[in-house]
Structure 1
Amino acid sequence: MLIKVVKVTKVKNFIRIMFFKIFILSLLFITNIFAHELRPTIANLEIIKNEKTFNANLSLRVNLESIIAGINPKHKNSKESEQSDLYDDLRKLDPKQLLREFENKFKNIENYIFLETKKNKYNPIINSIDIPQIEDLELIRDSIININFKDIESDQFRFFWSENFGPIILRVNSMEFGELHTELIKNKGYSSNITIEKNKNNFFKNFFNYLILGYEHILPKGLDHILFVLALFLLSSNIKTLILQISIFTIAHTITLFLGVFNVIKISSHIVEPIIALSIAYVGIENLFKNKLSKSRTIIVFLFGLLHGLGFAGVLNDIGVVKELFVSSLISFNIGVELGQISVIVLAYLFIKLPFYKMHWYSRKVTKPISLLISIVGLYWFFERLFF
């Protein structure tokens, strides 16, 4: 019996050491990808109301090198594209050279960016293009394009952004009415209809929208988060054990969700996502050797919860948060996430624990095999997110 315990302990220690080594090696690969990360363009459209018409000032934070090179928007990293070498060459150019490349390729900018009402199309007037001098080729370069639209005659319009330019986060606001619209435009040219008026139900509409966004990030879109919560569920049939783990996980991801959205902590998704996958694999494998909560498990759940929170923050940063409703948006998104996690637990209880947990083979034929499958999927995602 003593020999068996010693062997199990050695196996557990071996797994922990291997995971630590994999984690360290992954950081060596990850630190080289910041310059090649492709992020959505950020667009701030300021509405200036006149007596009968309105003007609009558009500020774009954009990766010019990616647009000029023609990187396919489906790629998350420039290294995935056939134009990767051209992208790297463009990054080496000084601001004047890069501006010249942009102007030569996009002489008819009105074909790529414009506003449209039911009756008219309004072409952009480029006011300025600010391209910073790049000092570190390992860091991405953000350029700022300022554009004006004049004498728009309707209070309802759509914004057009060429699909070839990749995804864009559009935020529309005005001095008179405040925040009017926020949207992630992806895989389509036009935004939804934007109306220039005060929305009396803005708070409740916004709260509900972010609640749904948080819930959908777990169910059905967040398979990685689903598997992590399921792995926590499978550790023990004891409800107190489950509640404690979920509470620790919730506290941890709430902390980094807020810190991430406030930009107190800013870590690339190319770092966060592989480690989230590794966390799934680790918890799944640990379930194979344990059936009760330990102190080390609570620490691990807390640390991995911090990582998952950064993943949640990345979603909010991509979509954008209305300034006037910043706190309520974060709270409603987090509530949505918690409701999603509770739904996963309820479904797991109904379809896994309730029918089988009284069976003497419950651990051997249910929790262990599912935990093993979860760990295999986590490892697969880890290597996929790290190298592909």
Structure 2
Amino acid sequence: MKKRSALLILILALTMSADAHSMEYDFSSMSKAHVFREYIKLGFQHILPLGFDHILFVLGIFLLKPKMKTVLLQVTCFTIAHSITLALAMNGLISPPSGIVEPLIALSIVFIGIENVLFSELKWWRLIIVFMFGLIHGCGFAGVLSEIGLPQKDFLTALIAFNIGVEAGQTAVILLAVVLFQTRFSEKPWYRKHVTIPVSICISLVAVYWTAERLMS
């Protein structure tokens, strides 16, 4: 437990500033295959190691009940939702301001963490909430991808590749969480009291800080 707690503290310390997204790339001279590979990499990097807020959201989803079915249902809702708004935003059909999106992303993490403390089972309305939050996170992904840019000749290829990279990053976070939080013990009476609730509270507290920081910036 001590090692796990130390790792958690390190993660939280590293996440105290979640604005590490600004990057510039020039893919104008690259082949379609090269663009595909590079945007997969960019999508992955936006989650690991740069997407601290998205990491905590996925951890919040995971910690409610670290069982395959529960996690898969939530991640599927989240993925479908953020894919929708990412595609809409990158095609110019919606343009939500980052000044609204970023605080809402932080608030979504606060909410998920608190909900983990109050409930121990997956409720049907949790899936709706995760879907709605996924729509917001998709706008956040679009903001980052807009800064990077998409090559006009390979627009769809790059968009799909970036989304694949994001999904790969989310999967990596979940696999790391399985190891970090020792989920083989998740059915033990002490697990919720000593792992799920304390970690969820920490996640919410970090997200409260982000919310205030983003509202004031």
Q: Name the residue aligned to 1:385.
A: 214
Aligned-residue offset at 1:354: 3.4
Q: Name the residue aligned to 1:218.
A: 47
Aligned-residue offset at 1:320: 0.8
CA contact (8 A) 1:237 1:353 kept: no
1:229 pairs with 2:58: yes
Give RMSD over aligned pairs. Answer: 1.9
Identical-pair percentage: 49
- Per-residue CA deviations over 1:242-273 (Å, capped at 9, x if unaligned) read 10000000000000000011110101111100
CA contact (8 A) 2:36 2:161 kept: yes
2:67 maps to a residue whose letter is: N
1:366 pairs with 2:192: no
What secondary structure is seen at the aligned counterpart in 2 of 1:372?
A: helix
Query: Unpaired runs of 5+ in structure 2?
Result: 1-18
- Per-residue CA deviations over 1:365-385 (Å, capped at 9, x if unaligned) read 000000011011111100110
Q: Which has the larger radius of gyration?
A: 1
Aligned-residue offset at 1:358: 4.5
1:357 maps to a residue whose letter is: S
Take 1:370 and 1:255, find their aligned partners in 2: how far apart are those partners? 30
Q: Name the residue aligned to 1:303.
A: 132
2:191 maps to a residue whose letter is: Y
TM-score (norm 2): 0.86
Higher RCO, 1 vs 2 (CA within 8 Å, ≥6 residues apart): 2
- Per-residue CA deviations over 1:278-308 (Å, capped at 9, x if unaligned) read 0000000000011111122111101100000
1:329 pairs with 2:158: yes
1:255 pairs with 2:84: yes
More strand by share: 1
- Per-residue CA deviations over 1:327-350 (Å, capped at 9, x if unaligned) read 110111000000000000000011
More helix by share: 2
CA contact (8 A) 1:210 1:332 kept: yes
CA contact (8 A) 2:23 2:148 kept: no
Q: Name the residue aligned to 2:143.
A: 314
What does residue range 170-189 of structure 1 map to in structure 2 within 5 Å? 179-180=28-29
Aligned residues between the structures: 197
2:41 maps to a residue whose letter is: I
Take 2:26 and 2:41, find their aligned partners in 1: how far apart are those partners? 19
1:272 pairs with 2:85: no
1:286 maps to a residue whose letter is: E
What secondary structure is seen at the aligned counterpart in 1 of 2:181?
A: helix
Aligned-residue offset at 1:170: 7.6
Take 2:93 and 2:193, find their aligned partners in 1: how far apart are those partners? 44
